[in-house]
Amino acid sequence: MNRFFDLPSDLQHSWFGLIGLHLREALLPVLAGLLAALPIAQLCVRFRWLYPPVLGLTTVLYAIPSLAFFVVLIDYTGQTELTVMIPLAVYSLVVLVPAIVDGVRSVPQETLAAATAMGLGPVRRYLQVQLPIAVPAIIAGLRVATVSSISLVSVGMLIGNQGALGNLLNDANIYHRPELAVNSVLTTAVLAILADGALVLLRLLLTPWMPRRTGRPARVAEAARPDTATPADAAVPALEDAAR
């Protein structure tokens, strides 16, 4: 274990360098996914008929294994970080759209009416009322997307050392150094837990009106009746807690 942080030269990075690379490859796609998910979710809230087909499409996209996604993209984006980040952004989008739609929809009609009565236009009503109330649901989605993204970056190792901390795995194998694989798994797991914790903190900061210990019961109550929902709706909880 004394060579735990002694990384082979072909990785071309120090341990901290790999961590930075890993965070970039994992978090930028989540951010991109969030930026794309917000307008898509808003459209789905505005036009209810749009939601089932969007959900169907995203479910199919989500079912595609990441490695296959990477390999097909190589032709267009080369063996680059971008090839790893595009699928991760898509997976994040898939997790976030239902989370945001459910969050925004959960805003009570009376609240909206009150906002309108206060003279808020649709844009301000969305930014100042709907979005803040949806924050817990959005953060719940972000947690799932972030943890899964951090885990999946490692698979990028297979397309020419684009897996940041995952690249350690190949070297552990070819140079017979198991400690490098332990390093990869532990570091990745710790990053995921820290990112998850940071998002929980963020939610506490953004929603001071919420009781400190909850945030889940609302989701449980919703998920508890999959049979009254359409089959497409039933797919939503299946996408949660994902970390392939």
Nearer to other proteins, 46 or 231 (CB): 231
Tokens of 236: 């939503």
Choices 23-31, 44-52, 93-101, 104-112 (CB under 8 A): range interacting with other proteins: 23-31
Residues 138-197 that bind other proteins (CB under 8 A): 147-148, 150-152, 154-155, 157-162, 165-167, 169-170, 172-178, 181-182, 184-185, 188-190, 192-193, 196
Binds other proteins (CB under 8 A): choice among 39, 47, 128, 210: 128
Quick one: which of 63, 114, 118, 204 contacts other proteins (CB under 8 A)?
63
Decide: is 127 part of the binding site for other proteins (CB under 8 A).
yes
Instruction: Return left, alpha or beta for 177; rule: phi > 0 is left, psi -120 to 50 is alpha, else beta.
Output: beta
The CB density around residue 31, as the number of other CB atoms within 10 Å, is 14
- How far apart are alpha carbons 237 and 241 in whole angstroms? 8
Please state the closest distance from residue 114 (CB atom) to other proteins, in A: 15
Question: Should residue 52 be labelled a site residue for other proteins when binding is judged by CB under 8 A?
Answer: no
- Least Cβ distance, residue 168 to other proteins (angstroms): 8
- Least distance from C-beta 101 to other proteins, angstroms? 18
Q: Does 42 engage in binding with other proteins (CB under 8 A)? A: no
Least Cβ distance, residue 43 to other proteins (angstroms): 20
Residues of span 64-93 touching other proteins by CB under 8 A: 64-65, 67-69, 71-72, 74-75, 78-82
Q: Does 8 bind other proteins (CB under 8 A)?
A: yes
